[in-house]
Every structure is written in C-alpha cells, then in structure tokens.
Chains A and B, each alone.
Chain A
Amino acid sequence: MMPFDMSPARRIRAILASAALSTALLFSSHGAFAARTSLVLGMTIEPQGLDPTAAAPVAIGQVTWQNVFEGLVAIDREGKIVPQLAKSWEISPDGLTYTFTLQEGVTFHDGEAFDSSVAKFSLDRARGPDSTNGQKRFFAAIDTIETPDKATLVLKLKKPQGSLLYWLGWPASVMVGTKSAADDKTKPVGTGPFTFVSWTKGDRVELAANPNYWNKAVKVRLETVTFRFIADAQAQAAAVTTGGVDAFPEFAAPELMDNFKDNADLVTVIGNTELKVVAGMNNARKPFNDKRVRQALMMAIDRQTVIDGAWSGLGTAIGSHYTPNDRAYVDLTAKLPYDVEKAKALLAEAGYPDGFAFTIKTPQMAYAPRSAEVMQAMLAEIGVTMTIEPTEFPAKWVQDVLKGADYDMTIVAHAEPMDIDIYARDPYYFNYKNPAFSEIINKIEATADPAAQDALYQDAQTILAEDVPALFLFVMPKLGVWNAKLKGLWENEPIPSNVLSEVYWEE
C-alpha cells in the first residue's frame, strides 16, 4: 500500500540505535561531573506522523520544526521572520516576484545537498494535486517556481500575497529532501540541528545532535533529546517532580501549577501562546445574526471570571481574534466591557427583552466545559438560557461545527498564529459575512509593506471587537515548568514549537 514499511535490517538498526541511546542516557545521567547534554522534554499530545508538511496537528511541528526540519525562513522567539535556508530575499515592488538567495553547503541528514531544485521540489510537493499539506492554501498564490541557478529561487505569484513570507516560516512550509520526503512521516530527514533517531510509538521520540549541521553560527549544546508523551496531567506532574522529565514547556493543568511553587529544583514560567479561546457563533442563525444580540452576550460576560473559573486565573483577556504576541496588537477588551445593564438593554432593543435559549457545543478539553459553565451562569443574569452539549473533539466537532456549521454557539481554542483571516473565509463555521472586513484582509495580502499591513491588522482587530462574530475570551497561557538549571527554552510561543537549538544546561 504505502511505502512506509521498515525492512528487517532497518528495524534492527533502529533498535540497536535506540538501545545505544538509552545506554548513553543512562551513563550521562550518572556522570555528575560532565556537563549535561541530554534533555527529556515532555509533551501532552503525541504527534501523528513526523512530517509537518503531511498533516496538520501542531504536535508534529512541536517535535520536528527547527529541530529536524528547517524552512526558507523561520519565525524567531519574538515572532519575527528571520532568514534560514534562504539567507536573503528580494520582493519586487509589485509584490509578484520573490527572489531568494539560498544558503550554500547545506545538506540533509541523509547527505542529499540542499539547493534551489530541492526547494522547488518541496514547494511543488506542498502545492501539487497529491498534496496532503494542511496549509496548502499558503501556496495557492504561487504561479511558477524558477531556479536560474543552484543558489537562487524565484517565486512568481498570480497575485500579491502579503503573508507569504511569514507563512514560509511555518512548520507546514519546511524544506524536505527529494529522496526522503516520502518517508518523512515515520523517518523525518531534514537539514536541522538534530537528526531523528527513533520513535517508540505511544511513548517517545529520540533525536541526536547533527554533527554536520550547516549553520556554524548556532552552537548546539544538547547531544541527545527525548520527547516523551504523557497525556495525564497528574502523571506529568509526577514525571517532572521525580526528574523523569526535565521540562514541560506546555504543562496541561493550570490548577496544578501551584504544586511546583515550593520546589527549588523547578521553575515555572508563564508565557503567552497563540491559542485564542473564542466562543464562535453561527452568524447565519437567529438570533446570532443580529449584531446587538452578539454584543449583548459579549457584554454579559466578565472575561476575568471566565479565566479564573476555567484556567485558574492564568491567561490574558482578549477583545478580538488577536494575541499580545502578534504584531500590531491592540488591547480591545474595553470595547464591549462587562456591563449587565447595557447587555440587557441591547437584548431588549434587538427584540429579546425576556432573553432566549440556545445550545453551546463544547469539546471535552478541560478549558471548554469549564468556560461554558461560567458563561452559562453569567448569561442567565441577562435572561439567556444556555444549554451545554458535550461534543467529542476532534471527530464530532469537526463534522458538526467546522464542516457542517450545524450549531448555535461553540467554544474552542484556535491554535494557528495570525489567523484573523478566518473571519473572511467563505465557507467557515462562523458564517460571518462582512465585506468591509474581507476587504481589509484582501488589502493585507495585496501589500508587502509591513507598516501598511500593521495599520490594516489594527483595523481588522477593531472591526471584529465591535462586531463580535465570536465571543473573544482569552489567550491560553504557556505554562512552562522545567528544571531550574535548564536555559534557553522559549517563554512565549508565537508559533507552536519546541525550538532546542539554543537550549543548554547551566553548570
């Protein structure tokens, strides 16, 4: 069927390699005098496959992006676009031609040389008819790809695409080898500072430092990295307390964070993510098609109370579909502030003086039912009855809400960074149609001038804060807990990731 089978010889080699690695880990953890060069990093969700260009789950990128795979450009810890496999680029004034100058002397872990033909292959694979890339839309504007020489890559676009460069920094846009791409799902081969060693399904992925890493400017200090997948929050707490895991960059349970406070061996770091918790409404359905009703619901909700109830007070309130990590962020939480009287008045004005009843479809992830329960109580204050209907995520939620748009209200954390454009997509589950908003999104894509884009992003945020096609609640915190001697992990998460090239153990 699919060419992913492991030959017996390869399997034996993989087993030997992992055995050697485990032995190495055993010794290194006992060698108290040598500098520590191994890291065990915990994650809640195991990735499905290890090719970020072949499936959407963020966990794939959180293991492989910037560790195994690299892109033409990268997103740094401040969320900025930085050069990577392309050392520089030029964008034509009409925004239709992107000319990249590529790094030379870069090789993949299997020895294949990286050049413009490989870059073309990677992009063609992502945008081709057989592409299963979750972000295929990124490449839709590309018309032709030219390779005038080995170190030059020219993208000719059908129309300007202001976000293209940013998108090229995403995990879904990484460069893959022509020989290895088909097997990346199980044996990822990239150009990054770490090579793939083994994957014990259901338990761990092991990486080792790449001795031939091309970027000499980066001093990689870790020798071996083990990603361990632990779903249960109590098990996570036990693992990081006993030292079985050195770091949980995204610890699963905010209510357990206090347990680490008195532990001098551990530090807790609370940063920002791109996970926007929003209660989307079906804007095509009555009464949510009335802006006053949506505004009334927004004003009936005290965001801080939701954050307190759902996420132990950790998290940042938002007034639009935008996070403080994002460029040109404006705090719009005061646009429709918590005001029960005003909310009642708006409802009455819209023709619902006695309120109404509706159903919210909530996924099972802890934040969703907890937020919904708090919201339920607050909406009751203005006479609105909300019934909570648990909806299995992802399967049933994707079918009912995302694909079917068969719902009144839902609540979910949108993980993709800078995805304010989802309110301009048609179809999309909000059924929100605002030509003025769509026009702004089009303008953002039509220009490549960052300052002009920033101004437009501010307009877009403001329109949404006023229109509330979804109730904007809060941004999930990045709850980091790790060994106090471990340095260099990202505190915020402008893009879902675990970048390890700058991580080291302090003596």
Chain B
Amino acid sequence: MKKSYQSLEDNSTNNMKQVIYRKLTANILQLGFILLLTFSTTLNAQEGDPAKGKSIFNTNCASCHNLDRKMTGPALRHVEQRLADDHGLDREWIAAWIRNSAGVVKSGDAYGNQIFNEYSGTPMTAFPQLTDQDISDILAYTAQEAVVKKPETPENTNSEGAANGGTSNKIILWALALLFALLAFALVLVRRTLNRFAEAKGIEIPQKDKGLPLWKAFVQNQFLVLVTAIFFLLTSGYFVYGYLMQVGVDQGYQPVQPIHFSHKIHAGDNGIDCKYCHSSARVSKTSGIPSLNVCMNCHKSVVEYTGETTAEYSKEFYDGEIQKLYAAAGWSDADQKYTGQAQPVKWVRIHNLPDFAYFNHSQHVSVAGIQCQTCHGPVEEMEIMYQHAPLTMGWCINCHRDTEVKVQDNGYYEKIHEQLSKKYGVEKLTAAQMGGLECGKCHY
C-alpha cells in the first residue's frame, strides 16, 4: 500500500513533497490507477528503474529540465522516443550528449548544433560521471506517462461533517425551546385551572400587601447606592484601562498582502529554513523581506502549485499568485528570461516596532540562538502571516527576565559570565542579569 503510493509520487512531475492523503477510499481508487501505470512503464523501459532515475534526474537535471515544460533546456518526456522517431538518434547519442554536449556540438553533429543554437548557445553542463545504468534509469523515468491528477474532494467530506454537526445542534436547541414553551404553557394552564377551582369553591385569595417596590428600597438605602456606584466606577475603570492598554497593540494584525504568500507552504510543507529567505536576520537588525531574486531562485523552476488545496485556496489561486511574482520580478516564463520590467512588491509591514525601540534580529537569532517561532509564533502553519506576539514592552521584558543567556562557546561571554554568576550566585544568567532590562539598551 505504502509502496504503491510512493510510486504515485514518482509519477508526479513536481519535486515538492506531498502531504499524505488520509482518505482510504481515494487511495484505493488511486491504487488501481497506479498499478496500471507501473505496469505500463515497465513495458516501455525495460532496463531502467524509473524510481532511481527520478532521484538522479532531480539531483542532476531538474535545475534546467522539466519533463513537460521547456526551461533552460528542453522538455524531456519521452525524449528517447522522440529522438529516435524524429531524428533517428539512439541512446548512444544521448549518452554522448549527456556526458559531453560541447564535444558533440564541436563534432559538427547536425541535431546537436540545432539544439545548441535553439537554446541561445548555452552549453549543457557535462555529466561524465553518469554511468550507462544511470542514463538508462533517467530515460526510464522520462519515458513514464504524465499523470493527470484527480481532482481532490477532501473538503467536501469535511464540510459535510461540519454541516452535520451544525444541524444536529440546531435540532436539539429547537427541541429544547419547544419543550420549555410547552412547560410554560402548561404552567399557565394549571394556574388558571386552580384559580377557577378556587373561584368556584368561593375561596378568597388573600391580596398580599405590596410594600415598597424594590427600586425604591434600593434608592433609599444610600450605602447600597454608594457600593454600587463604586462597583460601577471600578468596573468601568477596569474596562477603560483594558481598552487603553490595547491601543497600538496589534496582536493578530493580519493585513491583506499584494501577493498571497503562504508561509505554511514554504516554511511548513516544504520545510524551507526561515533564514534562507530572511538571511539578513543573521547579521542585521532587520530580518529583511527577501528581494525578488531570492524568490526566483526557486520559482524559476517551481512554476505551479501541486500541493494540497482547499476550496478557498485552489491550485488556480496559487498559480495566479506565482504569476504575480513573475510579473513583479519581470520574469517571462514563456521565454525563460527577464524582461527588465520589474515592479517592486509593496508588502504591508506586519511587525511594527515604534521608532524609539531598537530591536536587533542578529542579537536574538545569531547570538542568543532563539527560534524565530518564539516571537513570531507558528509561522509554518500560517496560511496568512499575522502578528503573533503583542510586541509590547512588558512582553519583551518578561522574556528578558526568564531567558538564560546562551554563553556556551562564545568568547565574548566567557569572562563576564564567570564574574557575574559569582556575583549573583547563580549558575546561569538571565538576559536581565546581563543588563537586558536597562532603558538605554533598547531606547536611543
């Protein structure tokens, strides 16, 4: 079961990791399809192992070639078949080309020169280290049929479940309401009946002396009024204070960005290290919003989204966002080159510290080795980025009070740690003991 699922992956054209489906029925359905495919591929390429071929392909070829799309180099699906049919070139020619394309071009080979010129004279990197078996494996991989992805339906079931839950709750509520209404009605009926009996029997119901109404009694009791007034004042004071304290605190701030960038897909699903894109966090005070050339490092080859989708965020939606990136970076996917018509992206800044507070990422990231998530929250789960922490001074200070300074293997701290720990009589120093609570450390 697992094994066959693996082979589905083999057939998919992307190199992103896919999330394992949990729906048994879907898997069973796909199993048949996959078995069929596996069978057919075995027929096509007898000697090569497509699974191995895929891994070799991804290591060596994928940065310039895709099976179905023209990239830096041509699309390679059924390349062997095509070459054999159209140009009468055999596997030997392919092997020679892979191992030393420049040599083939130089030798005056007609097709070799044609393809060389077609791709604007960019020579293909030579791979002399690939064995015949490797090449067979790669070709086996390229000879596989493209998999037409089945539309997924997990959301439907999900929403159904939710709908079910919702309906049942509602019914119970309605039933309860009805029950109470019936009870109330019954009470009224009983009372009326009893009254009628009493009337009939001639029993006089004694009229109770009304006495003072409650509110008058309340007003007359000055002490109670005072206590209530104080209570109301305190309560409103509490709420006003609470309101004022949240002014300027933008915890949960989640603005709409010009490009729907999903940290969940990048940092979560694909496990890209935060500092791959936010590299300046290592050395600078700002973590830096990656420039578009950093995006294009990957997105030159990652042209479409192939991961899990939802009703709200469909594949088309994500692909559209990638196109927005191309437009901004001035990348023409069709021509595989930059047009020079770049349009910088105006991101909406989420984490805004006031000017009078100095914060340095490198101090926290490089020196203290704090995880990004400590302050930024579960970014790898955020489809839309939001401000996780309150970013208030109290929040900073609390952390400085609790956090122990990472002094190991840092020549800077050696002496000061030894002296300070002796002074405070502690094994490990907190940032506060190191002077991390002083005003001037952050305010200048």
A binds B: no
Residues of B within 8 A of A (CB): none
